[in-house]
Amino acid sequence: MQAKVTILIIEDEKNICDFIATTLKAQGYKTITTGLGREGISLTASQCPDVILLDLGLPDVDGMEVIRQVRSYSVIPIIVISARTQEKEKVMALDLGADDYITKPFGSSELLARIRTALRHGNRPVGGSAMVDRPYKAKGLVIDFDRRLVMVEGEAVHLTQVEFKIVSFLARNAGRVMTYDTLISHVWGPYADDNNRILRVNMANIRRKLEKNPAEPQFILTEIGVGYRMAEEENQENDTE
């Protein structure tokens, strides 16, 4: 019998915690809950959950500190769930090592989709690896990493070297938001200027080539003030058997 996927919920608002736990249990997940950051850090070490759902506004220690401490010894996926809506806080959480960010209020379908994405990326280094070199496929877009080929509705699309590097990086991390700084560092190197104008110019060109309507993209979505997120791949199996 396959072991259930375990999710640690660190959330001090009981009604929200109960809602999340009930939703996840109905989908076959095992849940562990706590309203304290320090206990969450301890439970992470002792229980080794598959995913952590973390609220930032905890009564004993700020959620950012929880991310710092967990990331000092673990790569367990962390999804931040918080009422904080400032872009700089989203960027800070992601730069500290959080894998994703959902702003309250949120729906159960969005939460479950983010968890499935986190589980698929749980043992995958950012930037991709040999184990994910199968082609990316979503909504008529195909990206063949080995052949450096991009196709939309069966038609080949020519991308420049930089454009392909951006698209392939996002595709390897499909479903996850990649911050502007992360993208700039990956494409242009760690010492590149952090002004994201060159990234925006390249993204505009990419969207003109890939999207039916660049003003309403379906492949590469903008997380305003934070970064970009590639659409989820199609026909992914649910991990909660």
Q: Where are the beta strands (DSSP E) in 104-225?
A: 136-138, 141-144, 149-152, 155-156, 177-179, 220-223
- Which DSSP letter does residue 91 get? H
Can you tell me whether residue 101 is helix, strand or coil?
strand
What whole-number distance in Å separates Cα of residue 141 and Cα of residue 157?
A: 10
For the chain, the domains span: 6-123, 136-230
Domain boundaries 6-123, CATH class: alpha beta
What whole-number distance in Å separates Cα of residue 133 and Cα of residue 143?
A: 10
pLDDT digits (tens, 9 = 90+) for 160-210: 988 999 999 999 888 889 999 889 888 887 667 777 888 999 999 999 999
**Contacts of residue 123, Cβ cutoff 8 Å, sequence gap at least 6:** none
Give 46's pLDDT tier (boundaries 50, 70, 90). Answer: confident
pLDDT digits (tens, 9 = 90+) for 60-99: 999 999 999 999 888 889 999 988 777 888 889 998 989 8
Fold of 136-230: Arc Repressor Mutant, subunit A (1.10.10)
Q: Are 53 and 9 in contact (CB under 8 A)?
A: yes
In percent, how much of the chain has pLDDT > 90? 54
pLDDT digits (tens, 9 = 90+) for 102-132: 988 888 998 998 998 888 776 444 444 434 4
Give 147's pLDDT tier (boundaries 50, 70, 90). Answer: confident
pLDDT over 70 (residue 133): no
CA distances from 146 to 124, 143, 172, 210 (A): 18, 9, 12, 19
- Tokens 């769930």 identify what position? 81
**pLDDT value, residue 224:** 87
Packing angle, helices 37-47 and 63-71, rounded to 10: 20
Average pLDDT over all residues of the chain: 86
